[in-house]
Amino acid sequence: MSKNIGFVSTRFAGTDGVSLESSKWAEVFEKSGHSCFWFAGELDRDKRKSFLVPEAHFQNSQNVWINERVFGKKKREPSITELIHVLRSHLKVQLQKFVEHFKIDVLVVENVFTIPMHVPFGIALAEYVSETQIPTIAHHHDFYWERTRFSVNAIGEYLRMAFPPNLSNIEHVVINSAAQKELAHRRGISATIIPNVLDFENPPPLNGTCTEELRKSIGLKSGNMMILQPTRVIRRKGIELAIELVKALDDQRFKLVISHESGDEGFEYVEWIKEHAKEHEVDLCITNSSIKSPWNNNGDRRKKYSLWNVYPHADFITFPSLAEGFGNAFLEAVYFKKPMLINRYDTFIRDIEPKGFDLITIDGYLNKKAVQSVKEILESPQKRQKMVDNNYKIAYTYYSYSVLRKRLNSLMHNIFGDHDPNICFEPACRQYPASLENISEPYIVPDRGVAI
**Contacts of 335 by beta carbon, 8 Å cutoff, 6+ apart:** 198, 200, 204, 311, 392, 395
* Average pLDDT value over all residues in the chain: 87
Identify the band that residue 423 occupies on the pLDDT scale cut at 50, 70 and 90.
very low
| Span 173-201, pLDDT tens digits | 999 999 999 999 999 999 999 999 999 99
The closest of 208, 209, 238, 242 to 226, measured between CA atoms, is 242
Identify the band that residue 285 occupies on the pLDDT scale cut at 50, 70 and 90.
confident
Q: Look at 14-18, 272-276, 301-305 and tell me which has the smallest mean pLDDT.
A: 301-305
- Contact at 8 Å (CB) between 255 and 223? no
Instruction: Name the amino acid, one letter, at 170.
Output: I
What are the b/e assignments for 128-152, b being 16+ CB within 10 Å? Answer: bbbebebbbbbbbbbbbebbeebee
- Contact at 8 Å (CB) between 142 and 115? yes
| Host H or E run for residue 6 | strand 4-8
pTM above the 0.95 mark?
A: no
Identify the band that residue 168 occupies on the pLDDT scale cut at 50, 70 and 90.
very high
Q: 3-state class of 72 per DSSP?
A: coil
Instruction: Name the amino acid, one letter, at 254.
Output: F
| Span 87-132, pLDDT tens digits | 999 999 999 999 999 999 999 999 999 999 999 999 999 999 999 9
pLDDT for residue 19 is more than 60: yes
Residue 302 is predicted with a pLDDT of 52
pLDDT for residue 218 is more than 90: no
Residue 144 is predicted with a pLDDT of 95
Reported as half-sphere exposure (CB side, CA atoms, 13 A), residue 188 has a value of 4
CA separation for the pair 218, 139 (Å, rounded):
35
Cβ atoms within 10 A of the Cβ of 276, count? 17
**Contacts of 17 by beta carbon, 8 Å cutoff, 6+ apart:** 141, 196, 325, 326, 328
Q: Which residue segments constitute the domains of the chain, with CATH numbers given?
A: 4-197+400-416 (3.40.50.2000), 208-398 (3.40.50.2000)
Residue 298 is predicted with a pLDDT of 58
DSSP string, 213-248: HHHHHTT--TT-EEEEE-S-S-GGG-HHHHHHHHHH
* Strand order from edge to edge, sheet including 136-139: 50-52, 35-40, 4-8, 106-110, 136-139, 170-174, 192-193
Residue 295 is predicted with a pLDDT of 67
Residue 266 is predicted with a pLDDT of 60
- Contact at 8 Å (CB) between 273 and 242? no
Residue 429 is predicted with a pLDDT of 36
| Host H or E run for residue 256 | strand 254-258
| Span 221-231, pLDDT tens digits | 777 888 999 88
**Sequence-distant contacts of 54-59: CB under 8 A, at least 24 apart:** 54/445, 54/448, 55/87, 55/90, 55/91, 55/94, 55/444, 55/445, 56/10, 56/91, 56/94, 56/118, 56/121, 57/10, 57/11, 57/118, 58/10, 58/11, 58/117, 58/118, 58/264, 59/264
- Contact at 8 Å (CB) between 323 and 355? no
CB-count exposure of residue 82 (10 Å: 0-12, 13-18, 19+): middle
CB-count exposure of residue 307 (10 Å: 0-12, 13-18, 19+): buried
Residue 1 is predicted with a pLDDT of 78
Cβ atoms within 10 A of the Cβ of 93, count? 19
Q: Give the mean model confidence (pLDDT) for residues 82-86.
A: 97
Residue 269 is predicted with a pLDDT of 86
CA separation for the pair 387, 339 (Å, rounded):
7
Instruction: Name the amino acid, one letter, at 368.
Output: K
Q: Give the mean model confidence (pLDDT) for residues 232-261.
A: 89
